[in-house]
Chains A and B, each alone.
Chain A
C-alpha cells in the first residue's frame, strides 16, 4: 500500500551548488494499479519471436529483496514467479504459480502450499520449498534493510528476523516438511495472505544467491520466471537490461523472444520516452500529460493508444477529529460543493474519471459504483443546506493541505474557488513538500487535504484497512466507527471472495455512503502508446505494468 504524492524534489542542496536543472521538467509518476486489457488476440495462430523494447528508469533494484518501485518490479516480475499469481479479470482471482494448490487452516493462521515438481530456476536448479524459505529469509533479515520486506511481516518470526540487529537468523514461522510442501504460520489470521504473496519480494531464490547485498546476484538475478537475463549479460546500469524467453518455464511461455528494457534518465523521462517512441526507438511509452490529447488524436485511430483504468484513487482526506469536519453533514457539504466534472475538464483535460465510490473499477467484483450516491454529485443548493445543518457556516476558515512539489496547484486552487463561491467559507492553502505534508497529516494539522492511494496487492483490503480502520497509521482523518471496525475484522476472516464481496460492500455503504469518512474525487486512468504496426496483445495489468507475457508480433 502506498501513498501517492510527488517524486520531484530539488532542495536547498541544489541552491547551494548553484545548479540549473534541465528545463525538461521532472515526471510526477503517480504509480498505481490497473486493469488487464488482454488486447486483441482474436483467433488464428500467435506468432512467436521479436524483441520488445520498453523504456524504464534506472531501477533501484531488480533483485526481488528490494524490488520497491515500479521500475524495478517491472523487470523482477519477468524474472521471477512466486507461489501464486493473479488474474486481472473482473473476478480478480488468484491463480497457481509455483504452488499448484494451497489452503489456509480454519482460522487462516496457517497456510499450506503444495509446490509443483520439476519447475526450474534459469540455472537448472529445482525450485523447491527451501528456495522460498531462502528468498523470504534473505529479504526479511534486518541486515538486508529491505524496504519491501514488510509484505511478509504477518509471518511468525518476522519481528525477530527483521530486528536491527537481528535476534534470529531463520524464519521460525516457515517450514518445509518435504521439498514440495511449504507451511507458513501467521501471527494473526488473514484469509487473504496469499494475495500479499503476489509481491515480488516473496520470490524464491536459488542456492547461490547469497545475502541480500550480493552485488553479483543483484545485477544478474537467477530467477524462475517466464523470462531470464540474456545469457552472458547482466544489468547494464543506466543503459539496458536484456531478457530472453525462458524455454524451461513451467507456465504459459511468452510469445516474445525477448525484452529489451532501455533505461532513461529520470529527468524529463516522460518527454524523452515519448519522443523515442515517435522516433521508433522503443515499442511502448508513457505519455506526457500535456501531449495526451495529441497522442490520442494520432495513435487512437491506429489502435496504438491504450487507456486503462487504474486501481489507485484520488480523494480528499477530511479531518474527522475536529470541527467542522467531525460532522458528517459538513463533509457531505464539502463534497457536493465541488464540481468534479468541471475540474476534470479544466485541470485534467478530461483524462480522469470522477469517482462514485472508494473502491475503484479494477477491483472487479468488489467495485460498487454509485455507493457515494448524491454526496459525490455536484449540487450547490443541497450543499448549502447540509453546510447549514453541519455547522459549516459562511466565513468558516478551512486549512487545505497539499504537497507543493507535485503540480497540484491548479486542483487545489479550483477547490478553493468553488468552496468559497458555493459555501462562503474561507479556504487557506497550505502547500508544503511531500514529506512535510505527510507529517502535517499525521499530526492532524489540516481541515482537509489532497490525497491519493494505491495498493501493492490485488485486494480491496489494501484500501479499506489502512484508510478506514480506527488507529491505522495511514488513517490520517482519524475516522473511527466501531461498526466499520467490526466489519474490517470480519473481512480478514472471511474465506471466500463472494462472502468478502458482501462485507466490503457493507463497509463502503457505511463508511462512504453514510459517513463519508473520506471524499472520493477521481479514479485514475493510465494512458500508453505502443507500436501496433508490429505488435498485438498489449495492455496494462493491475499494477500498471505492460502485459509483456501476452504481447506477440503481428
Chain B
C-alpha cells in the first residue's frame, strides 16, 4: 500500500514534467510576443522599457534556457511573476485557491447528497413517479447549458426575488449558494443517472436475492450489499469531477464573479500572461492526479477484491 502510493507519487512527477514541457511549447509558439500583447492598444513601448521587461521575465533568453530556469524555480515552489499584475503568481493563485476549493467542496457535497440519493431512490423505486421525476429533472440539467442555468437562477433569486446576492463573495456563505447549485447541476444529474444504472444492475444479481432469502430487511440489503457494490463507478466519476472542479470552473466563475482559478486562467490566456497560465495549469494537473490517487486508494477500502500493488 505504502509502496503503491510512493510509486504513484513518482509517476506524478513524470506527469508534471511532461505537462510543463507541453505547456511551455504551447505558450511559446503562440504568435506575438507577450510584451507587445502586454502593451496592448497603448503606444509602442520604448526600447529601454522593453529591454527591462525582457530581462525581468527571462524573455531575452532562448526557450530551452527559459524552460530550465522555470523548472529551477518550480522545484523551489516559485511560479514566477505575472507580466500584467507584476505580483507573485504564488500569491495570486493562493488568493484564488481558497475560493475555488470552497466552491468545489460545496458542489461535491451537493452531488453526493442529491445525485447519489436520487439515484438510489430511483433505482429502488424503479418506474415510480419519483423515478420519472428524476429522469425528467436530470434530462433538463444535462440538456440546458450551465450558463443558462446560472443566469436563470440569478434572474429568479437575485434580481426578481432579491433573496440571494447576484455576484461576488462579499455576502459570505450566502454568496456560495447559487454558484454551487449551478456548478453541481450537470454532475449531479450524471451522478444520479450513473447511480441508478449500476444500482439497478446490482439489484438483479444473485447475491442480492440470496441476501433477501437470508431474511435481511430491504434497508440492510440496499445499503450494505447493493450500494457498496454499485458505488465504485460513481466514486470514480466523482473523483474525476472533483479534480476538474478544483482546476477551476470558468463559466460559473464568470457568471457569478467568483474569484477562482478558472477566471485567472482565462484572463491570463487572453493577455498572454504566461507565468499565470503555467502556474494555474501545473496546479490543475497536480490536483487532478492527487485526487485520482485518493480515489484509487478508496477503491481498496470499498472492495476487498481490489489490491493496490
The chain A residues found within 8 Å of chain B, CB to CB, are 1-14, 16-17, 19-24, 26, 31, 58, 60-61, 66, 68, 142-147, 149-150, 153, 162-164, 213, 215, 218, 237-240, 262, 264-268, 272, 275-276, 278-279, 281, 433-436, 438, 473-474
In the complex, which of the residues A24, A26, A147, A264 contacts B270, with contact meaning CB atoms closer than 8 Å?
Answer: A26
Q: A68 and B49: CB pair below 8 A?
A: no
- Any chain A CB within 8 A of the CB of B37? yes
Contact A13 B277 (CB under 8 A): yes
B297 interface contact, C-beta 8 A: no
B42 with A12: CB separation less than 8 A: no
* B40: Cβ under 8 A from any A Cβ: yes
Chain B contacts to A: CB under 8 angstroms: 22-23, 26-27, 29-32, 36-46, 48-49, 51-53, 55-56, 84-87, 92, 95-96, 145, 147, 154, 158-159, 162, 165-170, 250-251, 253-255, 257, 259, 263, 265-267, 269-272, 277, 281
Q: Which of B29, B51, B159, B253 contacts A164 (CB 8 A)?
A: B51
Q: Is the CB of B96 within 8 A of A238?
A: yes
Question: With contacts A13-B30, A145-B49, A163-B48 known, is A4 near B95, CB below 8 A?
Answer: no
* Given A2-B43, A13-B277, A17-B26: A149 and B32 interface contact (C-beta under 8 Å): no
A266 touches B267 (CB 8 A): yes
Q: Is the CB of A19 within 8 A of B266?
A: yes
Give Cα distance in the complex from A239 to B32, angstroms.
Answer: 31
Given contacts A435-B32, A435-B37, contact A146 B84 (CB under 8 A): no
Q: A60-B85, A162-B48, A435-B36 are in contact. Are A276 and B170 (CB under 8 A)?
A: no
Are A164's CB and B55's CB within 8 A?
A: yes
Task: Please determine whether A265 and B86 come into contact, CB atoms closer than 8 angstroms.
Answer: no
On whether the beta carbons of A147 and B49 are closer than 8 Å, the reply is yes
Q: Find out whether the CB atom of B270 lies under 8 angstroms from the CB atom of A9.
A: yes
Distance in angstroms from B94 CB to nearest chain A CB is: 11
Query: B31 touching A279 by the CB < 8 A rule?
Result: no
Bound-state CA distance A474–B43 (Å) is: 8
> What is the minimal beta-carbon distance from A242 to any residue of chain B, in angstroms?
11
Q: Name the one of A2, A10, A13, A267 contacting B41, with C-beta atoms under 8 angstroms.
A: A2
| Cross-chain pairs A/B with CB under 8 angstroms, 6 sampled | A144-B52, A164-B48, A237-B92, A265-B254, A279-B159, A279-B162
Q: Across the interface, name the chain A residue whose C-beta is closest to B271.
A: A9
Given contacts A262-B168, A267-B267, A281-B167, 6 further A-B contacts (CB under 8 A): A17-B269, A22-B255, A145-B56, A237-B87, A267-B263, A436-B31
A279 partner, pick from B22, B145, B166, B271, beta carbons under 8 A: B166
Q: Is the CB of A22 within 8 A of B250?
A: yes
- Chain A contact residues: helix, strand, loop or mixed: loop
Residue contact A13 to B272, C-beta cutoff 8 Å: yes
- Could you say which of A4, A19, A147, A164 contacts B250, with CB atoms under 8 Å apart? A19
B147: chain A residues at CB < 8 Å are 22-24
Contact A266 B270 (CB under 8 A): yes
Q: Is the CB of B46 within 8 A of A150?
A: yes
A8 to B23, CA, bound (A): 21
Residues of chain A within 8 A (CB-CB) of B87 are 215, 218, 237
CB neighbours (8 Å) of B269 from chain A are 10-11, 13-14, 17, 19
Quote the shortest CB–CB distance from B91 to chain A (angstroms).
Answer: 8
Chain B hits for A19, CB < 8 A: 250, 265-266, 269
Cβ–Cβ < 8 Å partners of B46 in chain A: 150, 153, 162
Which one of B49, B166, B255 lies within 8 Å of A146 (CB-CB)? B49
Interface pair A278/B266, CB less than 8 Å apart: no
Query: How far does the alpha carbon of A237 sit from the alpha carbon of B263 in the complex, in Å?
Result: 13
Complex CA distance for A236 and B95, rounded to whole angstroms: 10
- Please, how many angstroms separate the alpha-carbon atoms of A147 and B39 in the complex? 8
Task: Check if B270 sits within 8 Å of A12, measured CB to CB.
Answer: no
B259 nearest in chain A by CB position:
A238
Contact of A162 among B41, B49, B277 (CB under 8 A): B49
Which residues of A are found within 8 Å of B95, using beta-carbon distances?
Answer: 237-238
A276 B167 Cβ-Cβ under 8 A: yes
A305 and B56 alpha carbons, distance in the complex (Å)? 45
When the two chains form their complex, are residues A433 and B32 in contact, meaning their CB atoms are under 8 A apart? yes
A145 to B, closest residue via Cβ: B52
Q: Which 3 A-B pairs have the closest CB atoms?
A: A16-B26, A145-B52, A22-B254
CB neighbours of B167 from chain A (8 A): 264, 272, 275-276, 281
Let me know if A66 and B86 touch, CB within 8 A: yes
